Amino acid sequence: MTAETTNPTPLLTITPFRPADIPPEDEIVEQGKKLIESTESWKKGKTFFDTVHTCSRSKLAGDGAHWYCRISEHKPSEITFDELWDKLSHNKAEIELQFIHEIQKVVKVKDISPTASIWTLYYTFTPPVSPRVFTELQVVHFSESKPRTGIIVSLAIDLTGQGDEELHLLEEKGTKGRYVSVERVMELENGNTEWRMATSSTPGGSIPSFIVDSTMAKKISSDVPQFIKWFNTHK
């Protein structure tokens, strides 16, 4: 694929939206579905932790960074569809705080609707990398139609504009990073659950993009065993 190829999901970009400019939820969800389905044809990558497969897609027109995806399949004895979706669909950032070690603080900035809210997440890393702040809209959608499927779309949000001063005060001090992601939990015919997540991001600051690209696949894959370990102690 080349940068000139038409981008089928133009809303899914690391370019942030102001709260007043957030697109309609149905459009966000539709583009999220389209993107996560397209990962079936992305370039296959490495497998990590024996069970987490990865793939990637180069930037298209309008993208600010490459896309990376992880895919894992889970038997009911490990975690059921209902258990996984329950943990991810309710205040997902607060759950991530408990199993992603770099996240130190999360704050719900604003509820947009019963299925959409803005969160800010504060990350710290090993020096000399400075703390990062990611502020995002999370849109949750669930379908009972077979196969049962839950989707969470996250879009980058900018709170520095006029009129958002009170919301901006809820952000921690740190370098602004941006990411967009689509996470899908799907019940499979064999009774297992597929957990698939695609993301495009920039940490901001002076970290070279080639360093980010070289580590992204393994980094997002590590979230799976970390989550399962956390889940086993919080049933």
CA atoms within 13 A on the CB side of 8: 11
Under 8 Å between Cβ of 136 and 158: no
Is 20 domain-assigned? no
Q: How far is CA 44 from CA 2, 52, 226, in A?
A: 17, 12, 23
Q: At 161, is the pLDDT very low, low, confident or very high (cuts 50, 70, 90)?
A: very high
Is 1 domain-assigned? no
pLDDT 10s digits, 33-46: 999 999 999 999 99
Is 10 domain-assigned? no
- CATH number of the domain within which 150 lies: 3.30.530.20
Q: How many CB atoms lie within 10 A of CB 234?
A: 10
Q: Which of 129, 108, 110, 113 is nearest to 29 (CA)?
A: 113
Is 147 domain-assigned? yes
3-state secondary structure 23-55: CCHHHHHHHHHHHHHHHHHCEEEEEECCCEEEE
Is 211 domain-assigned? yes
Q: Determine what percent of the chain falls in helix, strand and coil, rounding each to the nearest 5.
A: 30, 35, 35
Is 14 domain-assigned? no
Q: At 3, is the pLDDT very low, low, confident or very high (cuts 50, 70, 90)?
A: very low
Q: At 1, is the pLDDT very low, low, confident or very high (cuts 50, 70, 90)?
A: very low
For the chain, the domain total comes to: 1
Is 12 domain-assigned? no
* pTM, rounded to two decimals: 0.94
Question: How far apart, in whole angstroms, are the C-alpha atoms of residue 108 and residue 85?
Answer: 20
Eight-class DSSP state of 29? H
Q: At 207, is the pLDDT very low, low, confident or very high (cuts 50, 70, 90)?
A: confident
Q: Which residue has the tokens 């490495």?
A: 46
Range of the domain at 98: 26-232
pLDDT 10s digits, 107-149: 999 999 999 999 999 999 888 889 999 999 999 999 999 999 9
Is 16 domain-assigned? no
Q: Are strands 116-123 and 132-143 parallel, antiparallel or unpaired?
A: antiparallel
Question: How far apart, in whole angstroms, are the C-alpha atoms of residue 151 and residue 117?
Answer: 14
pLDDT 10s digits, 175-200: 999 999 999 999 999 999 999 999 99
